[in-house]
């Protein structure tokens, strides 16, 4: 793979903007045909730092490493709170900095994409073969899982005893055990599958790009931010890019593919004059193509959490001291064992706030420590965290550019809890998390709840606590939604409505955020898109 400027070869068949999970998959699949030339552009840099490979490196990743450094606008329904909003800026995008949980969401999510949003071809049976095409599952091979694909999918290597006690506690609470959240049913508690392989992160760049870096028809440009998509006579023809080499225009003979993520894609489109005319004019951008819903329909999962103090050194908080960190690092590099092999969030599950819900609407993530993520309090003594996120928010937010300056941060407004139903379900989820941590099976491990604390009891008190402490679960989606009709930004084959030569392929095209983590779904979207772009027939729908 060529990672230097091909300054004399300014034209490619396909220009992919953004080397996140979707961009990496596309680069791999499109360049498999040696007659097709592909340029992959990424604003961030390389992932050579070992932290990106170490599963526990995640602990550093929400604190500013390889991130754009953005925050939300003040959240009207969270008492004006501004929330730190990590979005990756590195090769591999979110898959290089995420917690590596491999979760696909519920089958009914995809059926809703097809039946409610009009995304024909994206029902569960139609997308399942694409999840499987990517997958190299360490242990499962059946109707839902496969092996031999580029993406490593493994179970946790050595969960500590408190993880198993948590599983028993959740069952005492009434949630059944489930060994495969990506199989026949999502309901239950268990260990997550992880996008790891041989105790290393299986990011989209290591899984999809590294193996094909020798391809002569694939050019990768790092530290190259696309400023604008160039449109001529109703067709996207190229991109203007700034990098260490200056500013240049690179052209696509066939298509520009925008894969900048659920915040980055509507941002780039709007900077290019593609979006809601009023918002563009207000930002001082000339309108090239008035498309009202670019940046609308933002959905995200909001995390609430309980933190308890442990009776002893049961979680990885014990590693926080420098000499122990050094030992854990040595153990990892010498033997690929020990705490560094943990993604720190490797156990959890799915259950119901609303018993009428079509599939679980709450997700739990057990954090093997406290203060793992930015903004979350670290306990003085070892602690354990249990996150709960409401999975199918009814609130809708927006991504808007603040000005025509491509260096300016976008205005990210997830509009959390605008719909009171979201708040009601989220608080029920937090109550469940607290109850699970109080079950007998955890008594030998958990001393007492420290956050929110025993004196926080009423819904109103819990909401006040949430205003102060809640955080994003890092799952933005929906801002260039696919579907049929006026609300869609892209058609079901992911072409931007009203312009030629441009598609959007990433988490932004998901009409509804899946009920789970979003990395595997973003990879699936790009797998399916690659067949569409290459004009291949879709894989046969799964027979279940």
Ligand X SMILES: Cc1cc2nc3c(=O)[nH]c(=O)nc-3n(C[C@H](O)[C@H](O)[C@H](O)COP(=O)(O)OP(=O)(O)OC[C@H]3O[C@@H](n4cnc5c(N)ncnc54)[C@H](O)[C@@H]3O)c2cc1C
Catalytic machinery residues: 475
> What is the bridge-based pairing of β-strands 188-191 and 345-351?
antiparallel
Q: Is 225 in the site for ligand X (CB under 6 A)?
A: yes
Query: Can you tell me which of 222, 522, 529, 533 binds ligand X, judged by CB under 6 A?
Result: 522
Helix, strand, coil percentages (3-state) for the chain, rounded to 5, are 30, 25, 45
Q: Is 261 in the site for ligand X (CB under 6 A)?
A: yes
Q: Is 42 in the site for ligand X (CB under 6 A)?
A: yes
Q: How far apart are CA 520 and CA 524, in angstroms?
A: 6
> What is the bridge-based pairing of β-strands 193-194 and 101-102?
antiparallel
Q: How far apart are CA 303 and CA 186, in angstroms?
A: 19
Q: Is 517 in the site for ligand X (CB under 6 A)?
A: yes
Q: Pick the stretch among 82-90, 167-175, 318-326, 487-495 that binds ligand X (CB under 6 A).
A: 82-90
Q: Residues near 367 by Cβ (< 8 Å), separated by ≥ 6?
A: 305, 344, 345, 373, 384, 385, 386, 387
| Length of the chain measured in residues | 544
For ligand X, which is the closer residue by CB, 124 or 208?
A: 208
Q: How far is the CB of 193 from ligand X (least distance, A)?
A: 10
270 to 289, contacts with ligand X by CB under 6 A?
none
Q: Is 182 in the site for ligand X (CB under 6 A)?
A: no
For ligand X, which is the closer residue by CB, 21 or 156?
A: 21
Give the number of residues in contact with ligand X, rule: CB under 6 A. Answer: 43
Q: Is 478 in the site for ligand X (CB under 6 A)?
A: no
DSSP per-residue letters across 177-233: B-S-TTSS---EEEEPEESEETTEE--HIIIIIGGGTT-TTEEEESS-EEEEEEEET
Q: How far apart are CA 85 and CA 66, in angstroms?
A: 13
- Where would I find the H helices in 336-480? 420-437, 459-469
Q: Is 520 in the site for ligand X (CB under 6 A)?
A: yes
Q: How far is the CB of 163 from ligand X (least distance, A)?
A: 16
Q: Is 101 in the site for ligand X (CB under 6 A)?
A: yes
50 to 79, contacts with ligand X by CB under 6 A?
61-62
Q: Residue 441, Cβ neighbours under 10 Å: how many?
A: 18
Q: Residue 430, Cβ neighbours under 10 Å: how many?
A: 29
Report which of 178, 188, 193, 94 is spatially closest to residue 140, judged by C-alpha positions: 193
Q: Is 475 in the site for ligand X (CB under 6 A)?
A: yes
Q: Judge whether 450 and 308 are in contact, CB under 8 Å.
A: yes
Q: How far is the CB of 101 from ligand X (least distance, A)?
A: 4
Query: Can you tell me which of 18, 295, 369, 397 binds ligand X, judged by CB under 6 A?
Result: 18
For ligand X, which is the closer residue by CB, 395 or 472?
A: 472
Q: Is 391 in the site for ligand X (CB under 6 A)?
A: no
Query: Can you tell me which of 27, 30, 88, 340 binds ligand X, judged by CB under 6 A?
Result: 88
Q: Is 150 in the site for ligand X (CB under 6 A)?
A: no
Q: Is 519 in the site for ligand X (CB under 6 A)?
A: yes
Q: Is 28 in the site for ligand X (CB under 6 A)?
A: no
Q: Is 507 in the site for ligand X (CB under 6 A)?
A: yes
Q: Which residues bind ligand X (CB under 6 A)?
A: 17-22, 41-44, 61-62, 86-90, 93-95, 97-101, 103, 225-226, 259-262, 264, 268, 474-475, 506-507, 517-520, 522
């Amino acid at each position: 793979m060529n990672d230097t400027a091909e300054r004399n070869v300014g034209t490619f068949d396909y220009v992919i903007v953004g080397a996140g999970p979707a961009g990496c998959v596309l680069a791999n699949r499109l360049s498999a045909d040696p007659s097709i030339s592909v340029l992959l552009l990424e604003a961030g840099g390389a992932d050579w730092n070992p932290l990106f490979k170490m599963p526990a490196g995640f602990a550093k990743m929400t604190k500013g490493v390889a991130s754009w450094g953005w925050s939300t606008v003040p959240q009207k329904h969270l008492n004006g709170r501004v929330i730190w909003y990590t979005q990756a800026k590195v090769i591999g995008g979110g898959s290089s900095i995420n917690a590596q949980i491999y979760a696909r969401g519920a089958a009914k999510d995809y059926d809703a994409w097809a039946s409610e949003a009009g995304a024909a071809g994206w029902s569960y049976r139609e997308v399942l073969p694409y999840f499987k095409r990517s997958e190299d599952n360490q242990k499962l091979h059946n109707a839902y899982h496969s092996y031999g694909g580029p993406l490593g999918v493994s179970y946790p290597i050595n969960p500590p005893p408190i993880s198993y006690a948590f599983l028993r506690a959740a069952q005492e609470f009434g949630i059944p055990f489930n060994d495969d959240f990506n199989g026949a049913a999502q309901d239950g508690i268990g260990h997550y599958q992880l996008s790891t392989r041989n105790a290393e992160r299986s990011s989209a760049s290591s899984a999809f790009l590294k193996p094909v870096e020798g391809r002569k028809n694939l050019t990768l440009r790092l530290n190259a931010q696309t400023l604008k998509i160039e449109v001529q006579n109703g067709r996207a023809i190229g991109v203007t890019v700034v990098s260490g080499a200056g500013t240049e225009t690179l052209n696509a003979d066939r298509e520009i593919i925008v894969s900048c993520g659920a915040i980055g894609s509507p941002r780039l489109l709007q900077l290019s004059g593609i979006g809601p005319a009023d918002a563009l004019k207000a930002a001082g951008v000339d309108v090239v193509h008035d498309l009202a819903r670019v940046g609308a329909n933002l959905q995200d999962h909001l995390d609430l959490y309980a933190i308890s103090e442990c009776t002893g050194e049961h979680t990885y908080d014990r590693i926080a001291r420098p000499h122990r960190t050094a030992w854990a690092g040595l153990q990892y590099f010498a033997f690929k064992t020990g705490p560094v092999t943990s993604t720190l969030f490797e156990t959890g599950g799915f259950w119901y706030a609303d018993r009428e819900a079509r599939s679980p609407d709450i997700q739990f993530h057990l954090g093997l420590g406290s203060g793992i993520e930015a903004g979350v309090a670290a306990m003085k003594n070892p602690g354990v965290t249990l996150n709960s996120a409401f999975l199918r928010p009814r609130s809708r937010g927006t991504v808007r550019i603040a000005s025509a300056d491509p260096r300016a941060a976008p205005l990210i407004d997830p509009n959390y809890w605008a719909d009171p139903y979201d708040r009601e379900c989220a608080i029920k989820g937090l109550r469940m998390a607290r109850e699970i941590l109080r079950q007998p099976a955890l008594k030998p491990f958990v001393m007492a709840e420290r956050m929110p604390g025993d004196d926080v009891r009423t819904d109103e008190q819990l909401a006040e606590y949430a205003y102060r402490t809640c955080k994003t679960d890092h799952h933005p989606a929906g801002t260039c939604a696919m579907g049929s009709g006026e609300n869609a930004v892209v058609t079901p084959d992911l072409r931007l409505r009203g312009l030629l030569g441009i598609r959007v392929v990433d988490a932004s095209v998901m009409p509804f955020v899946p009920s789970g983590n979003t990395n595997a779904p973003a990879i699936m979207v790009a797998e399916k898109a690659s067949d569409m772009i290459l004009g291949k027939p879709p894989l046969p729908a799964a027979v279940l």
